[in-house]
Each structure stands twice: as C-alpha cells, then as structure tokens.
Amino acid sequence: MLLLTKPEEASMTEPVQLYGYRYSAYTRVARLALLSKGVTHHVQEVDPFGEASETYLTVHPFGRVPALSHGSFKIFETNAITRYVDRMFDGPSLQPHDAASVARMDQVIAVVDAYAYWPMVRQVASHSFFRPFFGDPSSSAEVETGLVASAKALSFLDGVAKEGFVLTGYDITLADCHVAPMIDYFVRAEEGAKALSALPNLQNWWDRVSALTIMHATDPFADVQAP
C-alpha cells in the first residue's frame, strides 16, 4: 500500500511574494487581503499581456496574475489566494462566522466576477478613464454598453449593502476586498460615479471603504503621471 506524505505547510515567518500587474483589479484584491491581515509581502511586477517567462510559468502555468508564493508553497487564482491568506495568517478574520454571511460573501464575489468586472472595468473604466488617461483611442459606445450591462449587478450589490450581512464598510471581508477595486475603477469614470450615486447603500459603503488606509496604499495611480 502506497502511503503519501503530506508536504509541510509554510510557516507564517517565511517570505511572502505576490506576483501581479499594478493595474490589475485582481492583483489589488489580493493585496487588500494581505494588508488587511497585516502580512508583510513583496510585490513582483508581471505583465500578463506579454510573454510569460519560464520561471513565472512554474508559479502560474497560465501566465496570468495574481499568483502568490509563501516559502515553497505556490498558489494562483485570486479566490484561492485570498482564502489562503485569511486562513494562514494571524489578524482579523476576513470571512464571517455565520453561514448566511459566508454564503452572501461567496455570492457577491461570484456575481462580481461573472457579471460586473467586464462591463464596469473593461468597458466603462477602460474607455472612459484608462484609455483617455494614457492617450489611447476609446469608444463611447463601449461605455454605454458597459453602463447598461453593469446596472443589474450594481443593483444587487446595493441590496447586499442594505441587507447588512456583508459590504457594511465596517467589518471588512473578502467581499469588500473583491468589490472595492472594481468600484474604484468604475467611479474614476464620470459616468460610473454618476451611476453609483443613484445607489445610496452602495454609495455609503464606498464612502467608508474608499477612505481606508489599505485602499490608499494600493492605489495603482498614486504615483502615475499621465503621458
């Protein structure tokens, strides 16, 4: 009978390295989780739009971001990273303790990934903020399409913020870490800020979360000048 030996788990004192792209919303999700837990870490910049090095492919075989190494342990996919960070390290728990709140947290993350990220970030923010900022051509039609497509997800998030299980802006969970980078990019577009202002519960949540130190510490445009 073949007995398999479980690899040793990394200790909390071993170095933590996050591989990510400065403008990636998902890299920022992982950073928010790390900072919320008070985890000292180094960020190594990886451009997911270029050809991944052979070395990086040993960390993330698909060449995307983010990925994380902790000692000899390597993990990729944002949701896996943030849950690992929360379970592995000391500090405030980023996951609620009751079943309903955990379920709502998981649902929020799934909804944002499936229905909000693309229209809010890749359409509205990209074409109304990113592209003009860097002097690239943009499309007002893409912005309008993104606003329409994101409306249902934003309405859902507004209801969650009103409900009070998660997205309270006080007890930070993985849902906050996941949603905040998307909203931050969305409201950098004038059209996105206007859409959010029509959702009072989500706007109140954003007013609280956007003032957090961890948000300012992870702002990808904090020291970036327009070309």
Q: State the pLDDT at residue 224.
A: 87
Considering the domain architecture, whether residues 135 and 207 belong to the same structural domain is answered as yes
Same-domain check for residues 77 and 38: yes
Bridge partners (DSSP) of residue 172 are none
Whether residues 128 and 186 fall in one domain: yes
Structural domain span for residue 37: 16-88
Buried b (16+ CB within 10 A) or exposed e, 106-119: eebbebbeebbbeb
CATH code at 110?
1.20.1050.10
**Can you give the pLDDT at residue 9?**
79
The whole-number pLDDT of residue 13 equals 86
Do 82 and 177 contact (CB within 8 A), yes or no? yes
Q: Which residue from 36, 62, 112 is spatially nearest to 74, judged by alpha carbons?
A: 62
**Confidence bin at 225 (pLDDT 50/70/90):** confident
> What's the number of domains the chain is made of?
2
Predicted confidence (pLDDT) per residue in 45-92, tens digit: 999 988 899 999 999 999 999 999 999 999 999 999 999 999 999 999
- Cα separation, 52 vs 205, in Å, equals 37
- Distant-in-sequence, close-in-space partners of 122: CB < 8 Å, separation ≥ 6: 146
Domain assignment present for 72: yes
For residues 175 and 78, state if they share a domain.
no
Q: Is 102 exposed, middle or buried, given 0-12, 13-18 or 19+ CB atoms closer than 10 A? A: middle
In the chain, which ranges are continuous DSSP H helix? 25-36, 54-57, 78-88, 99-111, 117, 131-133, 140-163, 174-188, 190-197, 200-209, 213-217
